[in-house]
Amino acid sequence: MKDVITSPKLHDCRDAFVAVLERLGADNPKIVAVCNDSVGSSKLNGFKSKWPERLVNVGIAEQAMVGVGAGLANGGLLPFVCGASCFLTGRSLEQIKADIAYSNANVKLIGISSGMAYGELGPTHHSIEDFAWTRVLPNLPVIAPCDSVETAAAVEWAAHYDGPVFLRLSRVGVPDLLPAGHRFELGKANLLRDGDTITLIANGTLTHRMLKAADLLAEQGVEARVLNMATVRPIDVEAVVSAARETGAILTAEEHSTFGGLGSAIAEVVVAEAPVPMKVLGVPGIFAPTGSAEFLLDEFGMSPAAITEAAIALIARKSFRA
């Protein structure tokens, strides 16, 4: 009898988000939700059915949505402002800057369906600039959990954090990588696999792909360190410097443009503190075309096999440099 190979169960991180939101909402009547005609896609139907008076649907008016969130926070409530990340960040960036970050308002911005999760809807719906737009703003932590466990932990943390937060969630299913009961720490990377030849760093939907690539590298005798870098701002400087000094090469991958995102944030640390060969995988400064998120990630060189090839090439650069 042949062994049956089963794939790991995939989880929609939005489910983890709303499960924690409803649990916290049951104990804290100050928690409210604000959305932009996105009750269904934000999976807020359960919250709405429990507390209809605590959900504000502003319609397709993202600038107003962020302003309403800021006003509710100023009134002593705890708003979770939910919308497609491409529209939440793109249409209302000025309001995020002035009403949320500059005012240090206690608003939790939840960018759903981030990256290329709306793949078939094309470039207008891809959210591959949101790291770049948000991580430059003072006072605003930028977080992209790698799985449902980290999503739940990050929502719990955000609800108790006094200040604004941008939480970037995908609708694309991912396997759980972190142990049950994981506690989120702002600005702290998670070591998922140790190694001394190269470090692979990712967050969100790319973390599990990096782990698969590490398995492929191990088959070639290469031990790769894998870091889950959920916090894009503030970046874990200590983990990046240690990775550079101890493994000598860093490869990053993200569901974002190669300009201004996770890779850029890490490169800023590397060039200042511990220069080593480095490569950033992502969307190479173009408008990503139409296609499923999985297809597009593969198309832009972020399949586990392609990541493995990029890692081998980067290791060769390290050897040449030595």
First to last CA, the chain: 50
Q: What is the dihedral of CA 52, 58, 60, 65, to 10 degrees?
A: -120
**What's the token pair of residue 169?**
């969630």
138-175: burial string, b at 16+ Cβ within 10 Å, e else? eebbbbbbbbbbbbbbbbbbbbeeeebbbbbbbbbbbb
Helix (H) / strand (E) containing 160: helix 148-160
Choosing from 22, 53, 62, 299, which is the catalytic residue?
A: 62
Reduce the DSSP state of residue 102 to 3 states and report it.
helix
The 10 Å Cβ neighbour count of residue 40 is 10
**CA 152 – CA 283 distance, rounded (Å):** 28
Q: What is the dihedral of CA 56, 59, 63, 65, to 10 degrees?
A: 10
Residue 62 among the catalytic residues: yes
Sheet harboring 231-233: ordered strands across?
Answer: 55-57, 31-35, 78-84, 108-112, 165-168, 142-143, 231-233
Catalytic residue IDs: 62
